[in-house]
Amino acid sequence: MIDFDLKSFSENTDVEEYDVVIIGGGPGGITAGIYTVQAGLRPVVIEKAIEGGMMNNTELVENWPGTNSIRGMELSEKMADHAKEFGVKFIGAEVVDVKTKEDKKVAILDNGKEIKGKVLIISTGSRPRLLNSKGEKEFMGKGVSYCATCDGHFFKDKEIIVVGGGNSALDEALFLTKIVKKITVVQNLAYLTADKLLQKKLSDTGKVDYIFSSVVKEIKGDKFVNKLIILNTETNEEKELDTEGIFVFVGLSPNTEFLKDKIPLNKWGYIEADETMETSRKGIYAVGDVRSKEIRQIVTAAADGAIAASHAARKYF
């Protein structure tokens, strides 16, 4: 049992120095905050958007232990509330730069304020990767979307295209089958990479067709998307598809631009860390989707956060 008031330090809004500075309030960052408090330390979580990160864009989470299914926004809220009840301080701001001196780490916010700590845990997650096809940026918000939960209701009873064949693409497509009339999945490979159970669930809806070995060459329309030009990578044949909307789920890009030249990143921009989540820079940890690893799930992000916080508490305090 911790022998101090867990909330005592979280109520002082003028505090600029903490034991542990956590950048990013997704499942990894929130869990790191909870475990840091359990270790008797003072953490702060800095989140530029909504607490929970990309969990908020997931309609249903069905593989979180202890729940058959839970809405992503609900799970986000429960995690954040848990941390706040423990006394974890949250700051709503964007980190635009960091200073990584040996004995002190500093997160510089978009309002110019500096948040200092002995340990820095980076949990900034990732964002949807763009197709970088002609017309994509022109039609963002005009028929091109990257979030079924956010925008699905705009496409009620319409015929749409989902680009991508992994778990995220098919999970979002499954959600969209409850709203739209028909979905055509366009996948760049000759097969789907999503879990077999998810593939079956989607096919069983009877609302989905598939086009394989094809990439998006151009997105066309007037004021709103109405056509997609795809290129078959095996035959080099182009094909025009009529559509009333396009949802893109082709992977993720890490949110690490502000860390360039600060800590080592791999060629894809992800942070390299060891099994304790510590990077090659002492006192700097990376957890969740921003870290270079094979499996990116809510449960693995939470595990990363627990490991990083526990290791940092033992090593640096």
- Residue 9 falls within a domain, yes or no? no
* pLDDT value for 4: 39
Q: Is the pTM of this model over 0.85?
A: no
Examine the residue annotation and report whether 3 is marked as an active-site residue of this protein: no
Q: Give the total number of structural domains in the chain.
A: 2
Residues 178 and 211 in one domain: yes
Of 248, 280, 300, the one marking the end of a domain is 248
- Residue 136 falls within a domain, yes or no? yes
Cα–Cα dist 305/314, whole Å? 14
Residues 240 and 205 in one domain: yes
Residues 115 and 63 in one domain: yes
User: How many helices (H) and strands (E) would you count in the chain?
Assistant: 6, 19
For 46-74, the pLDDT digits (tens) are 999 999 988 887 878 888 999 888 999 99
Place of tokens 């309002």: 111
Residues 213 and 299 in one domain: no
- Residue 5 falls within a domain, yes or no? no
Expressed as residue numbers, the domain containing 155 is 130-248
Of 248, 274, 302, the one marking the end of a domain is 248
Cα–Cα dist 44/17, whole Å? 9
Residues 35 and 170 in one domain: no
CA 29 to chain CA centroid, Å, is 12
Q: What is the CATH number of the domain that holds 263?
A: 3.50.50.60
Residues 261 and 122 in one domain: yes
- Residue 157 falls within a domain, yes or no? yes
Residues 207 and 73 in one domain: no
Examine the residue annotation and report whether 81 is marked as an active-site residue of this protein: no
- Residue 150 falls within a domain, yes or no? yes
- Residue 45 falls within a domain, yes or no? yes
For 183-231, the pLDDT digits (tens) are 999 999 999 999 999 999 999 999 999 999 999 999 999 999 999 999 9
Residues 244 and 259 in one domain: no
- Beta strands (DSSP E) in the chain are 17-23, 43-47, 60-61, 70-71, 89-92, 95-100, 105-109, 114-122, 126-128, 144-145, 159-163, 182-186, 208-211, 214-221, 225-232, 238-242, 246-248, 252-254, 284-286
- Residue 8 falls within a domain, yes or no? no
Residues 22 and 47 in one domain: yes
For 104-137, the pLDDT digits (tens) are 899 999 999 999 999 999 999 998 899 999 999 9
Q: Find the catalytic residue in 97, 150, 204, 209.
A: 150
* pLDDT value for 88: 97
Residues 208 and 303 in one domain: no
Percent of the chain scored above 70 by pLDDT?
95
Of 130, 175, 157, the closest CA to residue 245 belongs to 157
Examine the residue annotation and report whether 150 is marked as an active-site residue of this protein: yes
- Residue 96 falls within a domain, yes or no? yes
Of 232, 248, 264, the one marking the end of a domain is 248
Cα–Cα dist 47/93, whole Å? 6
Residues 215 and 152 in one domain: yes
